[in-house]
Chain A
């Protein structure tokens, strides 16, 4: 390690004031602090010791929590592909196929995002922040497998610049950056991120007869329109291929969808890591699922169509609800920041997701819009919690 340290030391003068790459000082510091935790010490006054956890470690914890979803996503993309074209292949082939379609998305997301971030850091002379470690992974996981890479790049640039940097960088953004990227694509290029055709990567093959690439949400929605019981429609869908939308299949995630969102189980594994490490708020996760379930029950009460009448527990495993609640809603910067506020925020995300799913004909997936909407409303929720705290203090004074 001494060699690496020496290497850093030898190029250091170039980045210092007066050096030829002075402008890129922040890049130098950024890379050095990734390789080596810095030699900074506490100030003369104040806390003389500091906790060993820093933001880098917090962020890498979230990335690690997403790895199960990523690995499963890779397998599932391969699985769905060979299912659609009717070929029987080994899991290794499926994994290789999945990796070939997923990794470029991941690499583009990280490369373009980091480049954008670095550019901003250099222009504004900010230290490089570790926030993009998480965002880069999130953006990749919420993309459909078929997405053109230039669109990933464009969405990433849009999200990082408009979603984050214009507000002042990491910690200052109002909207969840990854959701901003996805929303951008959804409204700018809907053909590549919605409908029945984009969720299964066919490559140059054609699907076998009778195979449908529709997502569970689309099937359930259509059941509502056609008046077929939703559970029946889900059970019959692709049943001939052994790929029906049973609760178990959807829970495990062997269904079409965005790269990382399909498996509720993997999201829950992530949730366990995040809650155990204390990095994400368990209140948001619990109230998010709770809000979705309760709204499912409320929908049952009205039951104006078959989708509304669907058993509420199915909502929890369909679409991206679990992924969104666990990884998107819990982003501490864009979520509610008061402890009471987190209950309300999570609950409303869950509830809104179901409302959007069931009642919006244009777009059956609700979690994206629910998270973005609640991101905007989170400060309002906090406002009232903070106000209550102030009122308690004020009342005490007059007593």
Chain B
């Protein structure tokens, strides 16, 4: 029973700096890193290698003592050059200097016809692809001991400047289908593949077998898997479902068919400050410096791993996040603006139409910097979050319940149904400039760990 859902709420942020659908050439990255902080819910990361060790692509280098079946593997072969720790010895990065030619550990192909579920789970968990499977509620890496009610895959990304999934996964049809086949073995429920109903659906998704294809159309966050689940079969207390990104499905398929941990992926280089934009093939955890240095239009910029709503600021020598398919470079906004709160402008992007905010007249693309355009305030304006969250949830009340640390209220108001990315637009439009994504994570951690 495939569903067709039209969403009326939301907001598309039309940013300048879109990547044309073409591959661009760059020198390959030389160093790669795995960042334990990418894996939400990782409690006690333990490193398995030392500085100076040589590893192959697929050598285990990290695991979580709280969930030790899941192995985190080296994305490339080479030498471990640095294990970077922060305050209180918090593990930040494990850096690997890559070989010219990558050699792979043989992890063994998986015959999906004969393999039973337990073995498949064990193979995926030790094969480095398990972290692509995310559990809802809470948005953390799934526990191999669980069995989900259903698995959801959002086949499109509606975030600003997001890569086109059909283009990114070109030529990966076989792997994608193999990944889907593996996923269908993990649940007794359905595997849902949610495609963009407003556009021509790429063949790789249209022809997918063994899954239920649902169509979603509307403005962002229509592509957020959390929003999609809410309209297909909302998560209640006690429910457990899994979500996987399309590139995660491909990674799983590669392990199944090739028997090796091939973490290569196509990412989009976007943002108004990049000169050469487009798509480039690289490997998970790549140093972004090769794509960014010498490719900038101005000096004072911010490099973001991911998109502008949910991404993370990294340095020019920083590394691509495990879950990210995109690098965005936008201007830094560390300037004061004379009467910036009063002056009318059609160039400043705003969801609102308050006096002087004329961006709704401007149908073109917006060049947006990182300025917050105001200071943090208590919630004053009401009814705004509701306009950009296409779910039957009362966001303001949920946020207040989290601030008050009221556990019953958090549960009853639907914290099981959302994670950070679902409130990213709320955070963007909030005139009081609160950090709502961080707040939601705080609430989730309260529910999870206490």
Report A334 CB to chain B, min CB distance, Å: 11
Q: Do residues B353 and A278 form an inter-chain contact, with CB atoms below 8 A? A: yes
Q: Which residue of B lies closest to A387 (CB)?
A: B412
State the CA gap A339–B304 with chains docked (Å). 36
Contact B412 A393 (CB under 8 A): yes
Kindly provide the distance from the CB of A173 to the nearest chain B CB, expressed in whole angstroms: 10
Ranked 7 nearest A-B pairs via Cβ: A54-B374, A37-B340, A171-B378, A397-B236, A52-B348, A36-B336, A56-B341
Bound complex: CA A50 to CA B309 (Å): 9
Chain B proximity of A124: nearest CB distance (Å):
13
9 pairs across A/B with beta carbons < 8 Å?
Answer: A34-B341, A37-B339, A37-B374, A48-B370, A49-B370, A50-B372, A52-B373, A57-B356, A393-B412
Q: Which of B236, B383, B437 is A45 in contact with, Cβ under 8 Å?
A: B437
Q: Considering the chains assembled together, what is the distance between the CA atoms of A51 and B308 in angstroms?
A: 12
B381 touches A58 (CB 8 A): yes
Instruction: Give A contacts to B, CB under 8 Å.
Output: 1, 4-5, 33-58, 60-61, 64, 127, 129, 131, 168-172, 273, 276-279, 281, 332-333, 335, 337-339, 342, 382, 385-386, 389-390, 392-394, 396-397
The smallest C-beta distance from A172 to any residue of chain B, in angstroms, reads 6
Q: How far is the CA of A285 from the CA of B339 in the complex (A)?
A: 31
Tell me the B318-344 residues at the A interface (CB within 8 Å). Answer: 328, 330, 332-342
The answer on a CB contact under 8 Å between B351 and A170 is: no
- Given that A44-B312, A57-B354, A281-B383 are contacting pairs, would A52 and B378 also be in contact in the complex, using a CB cutoff of 8 Å? no
Cβ contact of A48, chosen from B234, B309, B412, B414, cutoff 8 A: B309
Report if A40-B379 is in contact (Cβ < 8 Å); known contacts: A46-B437, A47-B308, A50-B428.
no
- Please pick, from A34, A47, A64, A131, the residue contacting B428 in the complex, using a CB distance under 8 A: A47
Among the interface residues B234, B352, B375, B424, which one has the most CB atoms of the partner chain A within 10 A? B375
CB pair B435–A43 under 8 Å, yes or no, is yes
B positions within 8 Å CB-CB of A: 13, 15, 160, 234, 236-238, 302, 304, 308-313, 328, 330, 332-342, 345, 348-357, 359, 368-383, 386, 392-394, 396-397, 412-414, 420, 424, 427-433, 435-438
Are B378 and A170 closer than 8 Å at their CB atoms? yes
Q: Would you call B435 and A332 a contact (CB within 8 A)?
A: no
Residue of B234, B310, B377, B437 with highest tally of chain A CB at under 10 A: B377
Chain A residue contacts of B309, Cβ below 8 A: 47-49
A54 adjacent to B373 (CB under 8 Å): yes
Q: Do A51 and B383 touch across chains, with their CB atoms under 8 A apart?
A: no
Could you say which residues of chain A place their CB within 8 Å of the CB of B348? 52
**How distant is the Cα of A48 from the Cα of B427 in the complex, in angstroms?**
10
Contact in complex: A44, B313 (CB < 8 Å): yes
Q: Which residue in B333, B351, B368 is a CB contact (below 8 Å) of A53? A: B351
By the criterion CB–CB under 8 Å, are B397 and A386 in contact? Answer: yes
Taking a contact as CB atoms closer than 8 A, the residue among A1, A278, A332, A397 that contacts B380 in the complex is A332
In the complex the two chains form, what is the Cα distance from A367 to B234 in whole Å?
A: 43
CB distance A48 to B313 under 8 Å?
Answer: yes
How many whole Å from A204's CB to the nearest CB in chain B?
Answer: 41
Cα distance A170–B380 in the bound complex, in angstroms: 8
With beta carbons under 8 angstroms apart, the residue of A53, A61, A279 that contacts B350 is A53
| Residues on A with beta carbons closer than 8 Å to the beta carbon of B431 | 51, 53-55, 57-58
A337 to B308 Cα, complex, angstroms: 29
> Which of B332, B334, B394, B420 is the most central at the interface, judged by chain A CB atoms within 10 Å of its CB?
B394
Query: Is B304 a contact partner of A48 (Cβ separation < 8 A)?
Result: yes
Name the B residues within 8 Å of A170 (CB-CB).
Answer: 377-378, 380
